[in-house]
Amino acid sequence: MAVGKPKFAECALGLGRSLRLIGDSTHRVVVTDLKDYPWEKSFDEVIEPKDPIEWIFFSKLTALDRTEADQVLFIDSDGLAFKRLDPIFDYCAGKGLVVAGRHVSQGDWYGDVATHCRNHGVASLPQFNGGLIYYERTKECQDFIETIYDYGKRAKELGFMRDDPLIPDEPCIALAMAQTGKGHLAPDEMDWSNSAMGLIGKLDMDVRTATCKYLCRRYGVRYVEPTIFHASRYMAFFVYWRQLSYLRKLEEYEQEHGFGYMSQSHKLSRSIQKRLLKLKGKL
C-alpha cells in the first residue's frame, strides 16, 4: 500500500523492483492514490484505496475482496526483498491467517502486556510485526478477518492506543487470535521479515548482490538474513534510500541497454585476457 505522501510511492516501487530483481514471480498488487509513478513496471495491478485513512492498517486485509487471489501476502511498502517468496506461501498454505513472532506475557507492546492479558483473560498475546501478514481464501479465514474488523472497531475500549488517529491492527489481530484460538503464529526465527531492531554493529545490505545480514537483539541476540528487510525506523538512515537509488538506476539501465549488453571496458578486458590465455595455451 502506498497512500498519501510521495515517499510511500518511492518505498513501494523499491519493494516491487527488489522482487523483480531477485526473480520472484508472485503476482504483485499495489493499493495507491499516487498516480504519476511507473507502477506498471513492477506491479501487475494498481487499485485505488477505498477506506478512510484512520482504518488504513486494516485495509491490508481486504485483498480477498478486491482481487481474485486465493493466497495473499501483505508486505509493508517500506520492505525490500532479498529472497523469493515461494517458501512463505508454501509454509502458510492451509493455515488461514499467519503472522510471525512470539507469544509474550509481559513487557511493553501497545501498553503494558501483562495488564492487557489480565484485562482480556488471556495467558499471553502473539507479538508480531504487521509489516507481513499472510491470509487465504477459505470461509474460516474470511470469517476470522471479519472478527478482526470487529476488534478493530473496538480498539479504544480494548485499551490499545496510538499517538495518532490511526487504529492499530497488530494488537487487535493478536487479541483476536488469543481469544478465539484462530490464526497461526509462525516462529520469529523464520525471519520472513525483520526490521533490524536492536542492531548490533553493521547493517550489511546491498540489493545489487541480494545481501542483507546483521546481528540484532530481538528476543535474544541473533544473526539474521531476512527474506524481507522491513525498513521501518531505517527510513531515517541513508542506507535504505541508497538501496532505493540502486534499484531505480538498475531499472533505468534495463531500459537503456538491450539483452546481453556488454560495456566497452568489459569488452576490452575480455580481449586482453583472451590474448593472455592464448599465450598460456589455455585457449
The reply to whether 153 falls in a domain is yes
The reply to whether 180 falls in a domain is yes
191-224: pLDDT as tens digits: 999 999 999 999 999 999 999 999 999 999 999 9
- CA nearest neighbour of 161 among 124, 115, 121: 115
pLDDT surpasses 90 at 164 = no
> For residue 100, what is the domain's CATH number?
3.90.550.10
The reply to whether 205 falls in a domain is yes
Distance CA 105, CA 98 (A): 20
Average pLDDT over residues 163-189: 95
DSSP 232: G
Q: How confident is the model at residue 110 (pLDDT cuts 50, 70, 90)?
A: very high
pLDDT surpasses 90 at 7 = yes
The reply to whether 165 falls in a domain is yes
243-273: pLDDT as tens digits: 999 999 999 999 999 999 999 999 999 999 9
Distance CA 251, CA 184 (A): 37
The reply to whether 247 falls in a domain is yes
Is residue 180 within 8 A of residue 147, CB to CB? The reply is yes
Range of the domain at 220: 6-256
Predicted pLDDT of residue 161 = 73
